[in-house]
Chains A and B, each alone.
Chain A
Amino acid sequence: MIGRAVKHRDSALWVAAMVHRISGLALAIFLPLHFLALGLAIESEARLESFLRWSDQPLVKAAEIGLVFLFTVHLLGGLRILVIENFDWRDGQKQLATLAAALSALVAFAFLVRVF
């Protein structure tokens, strides 16, 4: 194949689809770890507690902020798809996609304010 990337990938909607995919992949990788952490409660409440205290450190909190962003952006990207596929076509999707990204950043920022 000719090795030059095609340049129409500057559209907000193409970016929205890619962000949706990457965020989903990241969440799918994170999820087993999340389940294992919660599963610590099987051992004892103290074990879960010590994990929660470990997660209080800034680097982990920063990662959690990232996860909240990915989670929200994946939800909004999914809603984009569900609307396109189940309702009449609407214009102005690029603006909505940009709004969705901004909203996700806002939610992640609100989380940041909470934890720091």
Chain B
Amino acid sequence: MNVRLYVWQRATAAVMAPLVVVHIAVIFYATRHGMSAADILSRTRGSIAWAAFYGVFVLAVSIHASIGVRNILSEWTPLNERRVDACAVFLGLVLAVLGLRAVAAVVLP
């Protein structure tokens, strides 16, 4: 961890705090109403708001989680710094690609 990674990790954390609260509310709403795929997709398809919300969420979590996992690898495994960086970048890319794909899956008309 250094000051650059720290700033990125804390900034994405601060950005995500309100997003997490909203997401928990969404989870509760969806389960209370027993929403089907049709119910969900009719709300998300073509919605710029949901695209923006979850798009930002995905990008933020890709950065945040990869830095967090990097710390764990660095402190709890014998991997050297280059390997640890590579794993973090890999995780970040996996989350960003799969995440944006998932957002596209539900918002694209």
A contacts B directly (C-beta below 8 A): yes
Residues of A bordering B, CB below 8 Å = 21, 24-25, 27-28, 31-32, 34-42, 45-46, 48-49, 51-52, 68, 71-72, 75, 78-79, 81-82, 85, 107, 110-111, 114-115
Q: Are B68 and A32 in contact (CB under 8 A)?
A: no
How many chain B residues touch A (CB < 8 A): the figure is 33
Q: Does B72 contact A (CB under 8 A)?
A: yes
Closest CB-CB distance, B92 to chain A, in whole Å? 10
Give every chain A residue within 8 A of B20 (Cβ-Cβ).
71, 75
Residues of B bordering A, CB below 8 Å = 10, 13-14, 17, 20-21, 24, 27-28, 31-32, 36-38, 40-41, 58, 61, 65, 68-69, 72, 91, 94-95, 98-99, 101-106
A49 in complex: contacting residue of B13, B36, B102, CB < 8 Å: B36
Q: Are A52 and B37 in contact (CB under 8 A)?
A: yes
- Taken together as a complex, chains A and B put the C-alpha atoms of A78 and B25 apart, in Å, by 19
Give every chain B residue within 8 A of A107 (Cβ-Cβ).
24
B37 in complex: contacting residue of A31, A45, A71, CB < 8 Å: A45
Q: Are A45 and B95 in contact (CB under 8 A)?
A: no
Q: Can you list 5 A-B pairs with a CB-CB distance of less than 8 A?
A: A37-B102, A51-B37, A68-B27, A71-B20, A78-B17
Give every chain B residue within 8 A of A42 (Cβ-Cβ).
101, 104-105
A111 in complex: contacting residue of B13, B28, B61, CB < 8 Å: B28
Q: Are A48 and B95 in contact (CB under 8 A)?
A: no
A48 in complex: contacting residue of B37, B58, B68, CB < 8 Å: B37
Give every chain A residue within 8 A of B61 (Cβ-Cβ).
31
B98 in complex: contacting residue of A21, A32, A46, A110, CB < 8 Å: A32
Q: Are A82 and B10 in contact (CB under 8 A)?
A: yes
